[in-house]
Amino acid sequence: MRKNSPFIFLMIAIIISCSSNTTSRLPEFPLYKGTTWVYSYESYDPSPSDPREIIKATYQLTETIVDVESISTYLVADVKREYGLIKADNGWTGDLSSQPNEFWYVVNDNQVFQSNQPLDGDSIKLDELTFDYEFPLSVNKSWCLLPHNPQDSQEITGCDFIGKREVTKQGHYETPAGSFNDCYDMIDYFNGGDIFQKFCNGVGIVYMKFDHAGTRFGFEQTLIDYSVGVP
């Protein structure tokens, strides 16, 4: 009987390892099919009758990973987003229909990118995507959201004041969805107003807030429920 070559066993092990790696490569951000984040999303705008007054509306925002696949060397997670109006002040005319109802996370080793447009499976260009995260997160770490050069991920060039994301704090955070210990505060710097978010390892975004620097409008987003899909 012919003996199997050690090379064959090595190749099988590599194939199994790669196959098991198609659902998520990052323990900090488990992008499994079926994972769902539910947020309370409060939006506010100036009142049409009196710009000095603020009116608000509360929505339920649900983001669900509906598909995960390996494309070339990348892991791609397709995320569907749904808004449902819960309540609104009198005179509310806000419309969230312009918000994208679908987006894609692209994982490249320890980096996560985001696209609001369908991806070309034959040619994913990371330098055209939003550079969301680079793990592990740590206080004072920063990077450019756009544009991005994968070879210089740690270097901030041309986005010191506009388009930079900076990790400012690490600690515990309480949400209606639970208590999380390993969380990071981040700030996105933009001329129109900074965006604040809290990211908790093993969960994802648990809080986000934006206040416009000029006209008084913005939003506050808080995680209220979370479920992990099947690896």
Domain interval for residue 177: 28-227
Q: 15 in a domain, yes or no?
A: no
Contact 126, 108 (CB under 8 A): yes
In a domain, 3, yes or no: no
> Does 9 reside within a domain?
no
Q: Using an 8 Å Cβ cutoff, are 64 and 83 in contact?
A: no
Whether residue 19 is contained in a domain is answered as no
| Global pTM value | 0.84
pLDDT > 90 fraction of the chain, expressed in percent and rounded: 68
183 within some domain: yes
Per the domain annotation, does 64 fall within a domain? yes
Q: Tokens standing for 163?
A: 């388009």
Total domains in the fold of the chain? 1
pLDDT in tens, 7-28: 443 333 333 334 444 445 799 9
**pLDDT for residue 63 is more than 60:** yes
Burial (0-12, 13-18, 19+ Cβ within 10 Å), 5 = exposed
CATH of the domain at 157: 2.40.360
- Flag whether 126 is in a domain: yes
